[in-house]
Amino acid sequence: MGIGLWLTMGISFAATVCCAYLVFMGIQAGDTSGMWLFAAFGILFVIPLFFGAMRLAGVRNAGLKTRYDKATGADQPQPTRFVPHWFMMTAIVILGIVFLYGIISVILSVLW
């Protein structure tokens, strides 16, 4: 098990706990619209946590490993293929430029 699995599970757990806390606070405040949004995000963050826990449990239990492989498709042979990644890299570079422009504009607006 790599560090990536542990980081993903830790971040997913923290995000799930935060969403659950916000749902709890929304229930106490009587806000029903925001509560459902945070509940949906909480469910979204539980999914990688669930599959990470299945993978960790599959190390010791062959039955859980079989279920994990079947659920994730790891038991199917994967063909080797080339995936062009320049689309994603272009989007990341553009997004980085937009964030950098936003940060610089906020700093400059505060200074002047």
Helices marked H in 1-112: 3-29, 32-58, 62-72, 86-111
- For 45-71, the pLDDT digits (tens) are 898 888 888 777 777 777 777 877 787
pTM of model > 0.75? no
For residues 69 and 19, give the distance between their C-alpha atoms in angstroms, rounded to a whole number: 29
Separation between Cα atoms, residue 54 and residue 42, nearest integer Å: 18
The 10 Å Cβ neighbour count of residue 12 is: 20
What is the pLDDT confidence band of residue 83, given thresholds at 50, 70 and 90?
Answer: low
Mean pLDDT of 35-40: 87
Q: Where are the domains of the chain?
A: 3-80, 82-112
